[in-house]
Amino acid sequence: MARQYSVPYKGKVAESFAKFVQTQARRGRRNLYANVIPVIQSSGTGKSRMLTETGKKLFTLPFCAREENSPGWPPGDNNILAYILTSPDNQLSIEAHIIFIAFLAALFTEMKHVLDSFGTSGLREKWHTHMEPAPDASTIPTRHDFYAKVLDRAKTIESKIRDSAIPPLPQYSQHDVRLRGKFFTQLAGCVKLLSQKFLNDEVIALLKVIPKKEVLLVYMDEAHTFGKRYWALQRVLFTLKDHKMLWFSFMGTNASLSGFVPAAANLAPYRLLGETLVLLPPYTALGFDQNIIDLSPHLTVTMGQVRSLDWISAFGRPLWKASCTASAGGGVDETAIFPVDDVAFFTDAKVKLLCSTDAFDWKNTQQVFAVLAYTVCLDLVLGNQKAMAFGYISVAEHMRLLIDVNDDRTICFTQASSEPVLALVAASIVADLDHLPHIIDKLTSTLCEGLVDKGRHGELLARMILFIARIQTCPPPSTSLGFATPVPVVHFLKTLFGELWNETPGHKRFEKDLEGGYVNFYHFTLTREAMPVKEDPDLEANLWTRGTALQCTFRQMAIDGHIPVYWGPIDENDELDPSNFSSLDFQVKLQKAGDTLSADTIRRRASDCGSSNHPFIVVFLDMGCKHNYTNNGSRLWLETGAETLQRLKGLDMTTLPRQRQKSTNKAIEALELDPNRYCINARGCDENVFGVLKTTDIADEWEKLLNITVETLNAEGEIVETMQPLCRLDQTSGYSNWMKDYSASHNQT
């Protein structure tokens, strides 16, 4: 961890946070309970490093409450933590308040003493060097000495407080509202009195030494170690809120909503949620992808480069890249890379994902959720209290990101963003056939009981079956990194459909025409924006280099998912050429009645780049229907663009509804311009159509998952669609049943 701290800091996160603190100091909100900015985010996102770098922009006073022998950097200031923990773990205890008042008074007094010794020039820079770790340093001697003196001062001040006349407190009663109110009123008054007498003057004296209009930010890392004493500390900080240039920040991974509201009149802090005084919401903008963003926007990369650990670690939280980048000869060399052992690297990442263990336990619901969240973008149901609590734990223990908290602090928004390192770790877990049946069973038995979003049309089933087929297509890799290696799209399709593929007419033509195409996705990412109207080769290249496929927004016309397909050489030194991309687009339906129309509406998007030279693959997953196709008596039907064009031209247009005529004519026009289209129609969702369920021996578990995911009957589904006019503009869907053809009479004239 100390080595990772020596890696050059990338991005503007610290600069943005410093500006945020300064803005809050100038604003001076009257309804603020205390001048506190909680910084909450999951592990490895750079919370501690951000505050260290913030010290180059404004005065910071760091304190780390990390427990002794606990992994992490900077090391804990254990002498002070041990002192704080001598008080009762109880926010009602006056002892806890006394300890914090003594500690803060000693802290500010010692800081003033050190600043006075520096003179007047370069004060902030000298102070930052005094308290923060130097590159490659394994210890911070000046900081250790600083806190040794703080401890001595704190004990002296504590003795003075105890020798003073501390007003006695009335009896506390959990059940008597009147007595409880009286207790808290007098407790607050007592804390205010002691703060004014022993702490306030030290704050004023310190702020006079700091240059005018500069903020002092006291930040406390790992404050969760305070336990319930944290609320006592908050009550002390309430007495300092009038010092506008003095702010405090607490860092941690605990996203529980109870930490975002003021200390209350009992141990359930959410009681004051609707009252006047508030705390600022947690600061969550720790940044992401800093290392990839820092690269030139115009890159030439090789196929070997984009599947290397050096490249993959540049995505996501800064922890991954920092684990690979070295400092050499006492200085920092951004280009130097440690000879990182892939096995050790991914073992460490696995420990992070699974929370302090590298042994996956399928009985652990949190671990199963984490694995599926980072591979098939499994998400929580918003508003479900149990799901929300699940989200808090996932942020604290399983690398899930805290995105935001609503204004009244009742809902946390969390997300497992696209993060290739974690996706590869999760892929290696799912690929293990000893784990896979249990993962699906846990998803069915626990997670799908209102906790996770299964997708209204079976999108989760589609993502899962495609993902499972993809990772089962890979040769058994020696490390998780092996799943980043591209596989032939034909091999992927044959793994997906198994024996049925070889029994389906036309499969040899498909294999011949699709030879030379590759897929490399090892996780899905949800997009909430519609796909670009025209093909964007750079988008395809970026999806490829990130190892992801897209789950499209619900409002996306015609398709539910998008997988980049590369049609070029993929050897180690071959350059990635964006013009070599096309895609595999898929749509999923989960209705009993078979659908023979929707696949024809899936067309290649317009292109200025000549991508029609490469095959466009359509996969229509009619998962709810178990009937064979009438034209070939199979659950699988393969149709080239030329065959689709011939079929559509053979239709009697006069017998078709007007909306169907329009969509058919559009399909004919598109195929006449670009017949390089290969459509795979599949019916059902069992081992009879998806051979991968048979080869992985998960057919029984999959059937249970399917049964709880099956959508409402087709007729009800269509009615639901009519209740959402303009939700989709597909004229063959129920959303557009209300629409009329107002041009009919004009066309006749």
What average pLDDT values come out for the chain (749 residues) when binned by 10 residues?
74 94 88 91 92 96 88 81 95 95 98 95 95 74 95 98 91 84 90 97 97 94 91 94 96 70 46 61 91 90 96 94 62 51 94 95 96 94 76 90 79 90 98 97 85 74 98 93 98 99 98 98 94 92 97 89 98 96 95 89 81 90 95 97 96 90 93 96 98 98 88 48 69 67 55
Where does a domain end: 272, 305, 327? 272
Domain presence at residue 726: no
Residue 131 Ramachandran class (φ > 0 left, ψ -120 to 50 alpha, else beta): alpha
| Contact by Cβ (8 Å): 306, 541 | no
Domain presence at residue 320: no
Residue 369 Ramachandran class (φ > 0 left, ψ -120 to 50 alpha, else beta): alpha
Domain presence at residue 689: yes
Residue 318's Cβ-side half-sphere holds a number of Cα atoms within 13 Å equal to 24
Domain presence at residue 146: yes
DSSP-assigned beta bridge partners for residue 452: 380
| Contact by Cβ (8 Å): 694, 526 | no
Nearest Cα to 38, choosing from 16, 14, 21, 63? 21
Give the integer Cα–Cα distance in Å for 40 and 253.
5
Give the integer Cα–Cα distance in Å for 637 and 635.
7
Q: Which residue has the tokens 């930490």?
A: 259
Instruction: Decide: residue 330, CB within 10 A, 0-12 exposed, 13-18 middle, 19+ buried.
Output: exposed
Nearest Cα to 375, choosing from 548, 562, 545, 519? 548
Domain presence at residue 380: no
Q: At what angle do helices 141-163 and 94-118 cross, to 10 degrees?
A: 130
Give the integer Cα–Cα distance in Å for 422 and 35.
36
Give the integer Cα–Cα distance in Å for 182 and 184.
6
| pLDDT for 165 | 87
Residue 516 Ramachandran class (φ > 0 left, ψ -120 to 50 alpha, else beta): left
Around Cβ 440, how many Cβ atoms within 10 Å? Answer: 25
Pairing of strands 548-551, 412-415: unpaired
Residue 571's Cβ-side half-sphere holds a number of Cα atoms within 13 Å equal to 3
Where does a domain end: 218, 241, 272? 272
DSSP-assigned beta bridge partners for residue 221: 64, 251
Structure tokens at 359: 């042994």
Domain presence at residue 627: yes
- Residues comprising the chain, all counted: 749
Domain presence at residue 431: no
Where does a domain end: 238, 272, 306? 272
Nearest Cα to 621, choosing from 722, 731, 713, 497? 497
Domain presence at residue 421: no
Give the integer Cα–Cα distance in Å for 187 and 231.
13
Nearest Cα to 521, choosing from 571, 576, 562? 562
Rounded to 5 degrees, what are φ and ψ at 163?
A: -80, -15
DSSP-assigned beta bridge partners for residue 251: 39, 221
- Total structural domains in the chain? 2
| pLDDT for 29 | 74
Nearest Cα to 626, choosing from 538, 685, 576, 550? 685
Range of the domain at 46: 13-158+200-272
| pLDDT for 709 | 78
pTM: 0.90
Structure tokens at 421: 């390192």
| pLDDT for 276 | 61
Residue 164 Ramachandran class (φ > 0 left, ψ -120 to 50 alpha, else beta): beta
| pLDDT for 176 | 86
Give the integer Cα–Cα distance in Å for 361 and 367.
7
Residue 567's Cβ-side half-sphere holds a number of Cα atoms within 13 Å equal to 18
| Contact by Cβ (8 Å): 614, 567 | yes
pLDDT tens-digit series, residues 355-403: 999 999 999 999 999 999 999 999 987 666 788 788 889 998 999 999 8
